Structure 1
């Protein structure tokens, strides 16, 4: 599995399994099967309501080999609340630490400094190995960098050919903040685009593989959700080949600047 270097010295698998809207026994089944097939990165969040199921799936695997990401929700961004939220997350996942802990959304009510101070404390305690944010635009990223310096090593954003956040991507690259693409398949809307379909046919790949490869070639990690073994396997087949630059440019041109969520 290819990895992406984080500026704190840690490394993150470039492909992970997103678990938004995966709940109950199906969540445990899918995560466990993904790990059996070779996935080594699982993304969850307290708001997803599935951390216990994810934790159950992790049992039987060497914890040090699995990269686990979770996120603190917007109603737990004050200092003490963030500490407690992380404690609950660790308990639900039945693990001693998170590989990456993210602020799920920026807040207008709670200064990012306060939440990042809690994140820094969690890192000092060993409860969190790397710290990041999610859904942060350039303005919010500037503020985070201003108050926390090099603490923030990742920004998880909606990223696919219909929402090519080029300016955010370039800002992150400039400041050595890795990017993780969530909903990299565009909620399947992008997969039906004629350009994506044509590129997929020509390269004998699936439309999903084309979208994932596009994001990977932009330097992003990808965390597609999958609930069937076929899709789990297909999503693993995105390494060892590349899209030519003209196809990348055609996919770039599909940008609509709007979320599909």
Structure 2
């Protein structure tokens, strides 16, 4: 069973072939061993090319992708998951998420497909993404396979206390996308002050805080400089005062939000 690193590499918006391949190969060279993509990103093939080109053995890389909201009907989930594995160049997808519980999502049909994919060996682990707490608990109850991870937006400006508590209760990973809030953390005085104190970037402070909370961060970056800067967060150890200061930030700021988002349908 592959390790699931606490810092992974996100590929959202890396839609240009050369940019995506270069970013992923650079990330692997730097030391990342977890790559996150999605059918919606239209770059699974490019990620697969990078995995094939890298000097890092694919067996040493944890590869995650996500089903499109339009591909969640039982038959579609089965077919497109296999297509994702082929594009990625892997025999088994290490982690397959339901990207959003929207559109064709059906708890019975979709989750049954995930269980079948695990039984067939197409998928190793099952994940969910952007689920409300009630949707998360319903899915956990219906699935035969254990939920390995729940991926949501999380950063110091959106700390996700309830979902972190549920991750602890049900023993799955909480995976943070947009873990630096598209660099909005660099505009927060408290985070900037902590970054200055440690002589690091605000992004590193945000990533270190996410990991200190026991969650997994998957920052996206395109340039080698940002890829390396984010990875250096593994070397940053925030002290208790730093954590308390960040926890006290009152600004709950959601980056990814739209009318049909699950949390707006209550």
**TM-score after normalising by structure 1:** 0.92
Output the CA distance in 2 between the equivalents of 1:201 and 1:32. Answer: 31
Q: State the partner residue of 1:179.
A: 174
1:73 aligns with 2:68: yes
Output the CA distance in 2 between the equivalents of 1:87 and 1:149. Answer: 20
Output the CA distance in 2 between the equivalents of 1:224 and 1:106. Answer: 22
Q: State the partner residue of 1:117.
A: 112
The Cα shift of 1:150 comes to 5.1
The Cα shift of 1:151 comes to 2.0
Output the CA distance in 1 between the equivalents of 2:108 and 2:150. Answer: 16
CA distance change for structure 1 residues 108 and 229 in 2, over 3 Å: closer, same or farther? Answer: closer
Q: State the partner residue of 2:21.
A: 28
Q: State the partner residue of 2:202.
A: 207
| Runs of 5+ consecutive residues of structure 2 not aligned to the other structure | 257-266
Aligned 1:146-161 pairs, distance under 5 A: 146-148=141-143, 151-161=146-156
The Cα shift of 1:241 comes to 3.9
Output the CA distance in 2 between the equivalents of 1:255 and 1:32. Answer: 38
The Cα shift of 1:63 comes to 1.3
Q: State the partner residue of 1:101.
A: 96
The Cα shift of 1:107 comes to 2.8
The Cα shift of 1:98 comes to 0.8
String of CA shifts for 1:199-222, please: whole Å, max 9, x gaps: 000111111110000000000111
The Cα shift of 1:229 comes to 1.1
* Number of residue-to-residue matches in the alignment: 253
Residue 39 of structure 2: which of 35, 38, 46 is its match?
46
String of CA shifts for 1:152-206, please: whole Å, max 9, x gaps: 1100000001111101111111110111100000011122211110000011111
String of CA shifts for 1:76-120, please: whole Å, max 9, x gaps: 111111001101111211221111000001137532232111111
**TM-score after normalising by structure 2:** 0.91
| Runs of 5+ consecutive residues of structure 1 not aligned to the other structure | 1-8
Q: State the partner residue of 2:214.
A: 219
Output the CA distance in 1 between the equivalents of 2:145 and 2:211. Answer: 23
Q: State the partner residue of 2:160.
A: 165
Q: CA RMSD in A?
A: 1.5
State the secondary structure of the residue aligned to 2:237.
coil
Q: State the partner residue of 1:239.
A: 234
Output the CA distance in 2 between the equivalents of 1:111 and 1:88. Answer: 21
Output the CA distance in 1 between the equivalents of 2:249 and 2:103. Answer: 32
